[in-house]
Amino acid sequence: MLNLRKTFGYIVLVLCAISMILPFLWMISTSFMTNEEIFSYPIKFLPSQIDFLNYKNVFCSLPLVGYFLNSLIVSVVTTLGQIIVSTMAGYAFARFEFRGKEFLFIIILMTMMVPPQVNIIPLFYLMRELGWIDSYQALILPGFFGGFGVFLMRQWFTKFPKSLEEAAKIDGSNNFEIFIKVAVPLALPAIMTIAVFTFVTSWNSFMWPLIVTNSDSMRTLPVALAAFKGSYREIVVWGELMACSVISVIPVVLVFLLGKKYFINDILAGSIKD
């Protein structure tokens, strides 16, 4: 009976994996097809030949490198800022005592329950008053602050052994040195988890960059993809659109593969009690 349950569980997992992988495989395959092949009947799942014409046309018709660099700059800097803010705030909430700490932490938890769309209008007015519309500051700075990162780091540092702190203090380390030299290296799995989540969220962000950017030179890839589909030409060349999509997915996949080990370690650490 137990083996039957395990077999059924594996079948469900395999089916779920296939359902998630198939759209990506179809996207890659379509990026090598012409419009005639894509809409042919019977349906073709593989291109008749591997031709990079769609990729070449995309780079010729769009300033794709500029869009890619914009997304890369915004995502990397946002991720670094989120890591710094979340790690320092989480450590302060976990290891220090100060007036109003619990109330402040509850406020941070409450921000996680507010839909991001609710913040768009006040954030836009703030960016406008600061004169940051259509700039990297508007694209990057709001992403530095997030309740999830602070909550995750606070929970991680709560498990941080006090004996290590005491040993570091005996060696003459101050609070900042303990944080940098002892706490942060031990919290690397949680930090990498935040990095993966933040990078993917920032890279895929569409609504906020669409609102705060006006010029073509400040567009990010998701906004450029929507513009490519709706504005550049009357007939959508789906092969070229899929080629753009493949290019936009590559950094996300690489980041996940690089951070996968730490991400899994963090999940396992959270599931094991001392």
Our count of domains for the chain comes to 1
Give the per-residue pLDDT at 271: 42
Least confident residue range of 54-63, 128-137, 236-245, 255-264: 255-264
Tell whether 51 is covered by a domain. Answer: no
Tell the burial category of 198 from Cβ atoms under 10 Å away from its Cβ (0-12, 13-18, 19+): buried
As a whole number, the mean pLDDT across the chain is 86
Q: At what angle do helices 188-204 and 221-230 cross, to 10 degrees?
A: 20
Tell whether 102 is covered by a domain. Answer: yes
Question: Which domain, by its residues, includes 252?
Answer: 64-271
Tell whether 12 is covered by a domain. Answer: no
Tell whether 9 is covered by a domain. Answer: no
User: Taking the model in full, what pTM does it have?
Assistant: 0.86
Tell whether 239 is covered by a domain. Answer: yes
Tell whether 40 is covered by a domain. Answer: no
- pLDDT, tens digit, for every residue of 95-127? 888 888 999 999 998 988 888 888 898 999 999
pLDDT of residue 81 exceeding 90 = yes
Using CA of residue 84, residue 87, residue 90, residue 91, what is the dihedral sign?
negative
Closest to 245 measured CA to CA, from 222, 263, 213: 222
Confidence of residue 9 (pLDDT cuts 50, 70, 90): confident
Tell whether 213 is covered by a domain. Answer: yes
Which 3 state secondary structure label does DSSP give 251?
Answer: helix
pLDDT of residue 232 exceeding 70 = no
CATH number for the domain spanning 73: value is 1.10.3720.10
